Amino acid sequence: MSSSMDRPVIGVIAAAGRATRLAPLPCSKELMPIGVHREPAELRGRPKAVSQYLLEKMRAAGARRIFFVVRSGKFDIADYYGDGSRLGLSIAYLMMNEPWGPPFSAAQAAPFVDGATVLFGFPDILIQPEDCFVRACDRLRETGADIVLGLFRGALTDALDLVRTDEQGRVVELVTKEERPPRGDGDTGYMLAAWGPGFTRFLVDETRRLSALAHSGAHGPAPDWPMGAVIAAAIHAGLHVDSVFLPDARFLDIGTPEGLAAAGEFPGVWLGRA
């Protein structure tokens, strides 16, 4: 088996959501224009899609192949990015199968990322610093972990999964925001992940288990599991879930009207003004 240094780096983007908090929209949420291009010169001043910020950060960490997982009605993403060549990427598109949350979208890419380091982020969330995935990949290689989470300090008003680590940075607990854990200002949450083949295999197995639960009706007619639920299950199963703390991190969810209104003030978003 190849070492983590030899593995290809591939981005996986779950883009099958319905954007109900912003609806109605004229396009897929992932294509909402946030700021304008500063470069290259031929695009300077033209609108920049929110998901491109994520693509650029994945590319900076070595990803050259990206999989968007979409559902019917979101083919405008493929129309916009095409094969990805104008961004120096090779982009392919996978159809969502089971509609029960981001883990199921991510698992759709499993047959195409076998043996790879996978970068996972949310296309409607602006994140800083620019090298956040670089740091996560470096930590993955250093520790040999199955998955590394990029951590940050959140404000009390931030909706986040709470993460607790030991002194070495290994994640010992993750409580999803859906579980409504008690909150304190400065809690630690995660905003992105980098993982290896071991977590990809676990993701496939865990989504199969959750699929059986969904089909049984045990979780109601339309269950929706967050990615954090699968990561928490990996911790309980004994996988090595590690972390890299990003002291300079910031994030903004543009999937809400409030977040969308604040996007122009986010670092790295250029509005075309000098």
- How far apart CA 44 and CA 31 sit, in angstroms, is 18
3-class SS of residue 160? coil
- How far apart CA 70 and CA 206 sit, in angstroms, is 21
Q: At residue 74, does pLDDT exceed 50?
A: yes
At a CB cut-off of 8 Å and minimum separation 6, what does 148 contact?
136, 137, 139, 140, 193, 194, 195, 241, 242, 243, 244
pLDDT in tens, 77-115: 999 999 999 999 999 999 999 999 999 999 999 999 999
Alpha helices in 193-269 (DSSP H): 197-216, 227-236, 257-262
pLDDT band at 69 (very low <50, low <70, confident <90, very high): very high
pLDDT of residue 1: 44
* Model confidence, pTM: 0.95
Two tokens, residue 165: 């680590």
Decide if domain 9-265 falls under CATH 3.90.320.10.
no
Q: At residue 169, does pLDDT exceed 80?
A: yes
pLDDT in tens, 43-55: 999 999 999 999 9
| Residues 97, 256, 122, 79, CA torsion sign | positive
Q: What is the DSSP letter of 258?
A: H
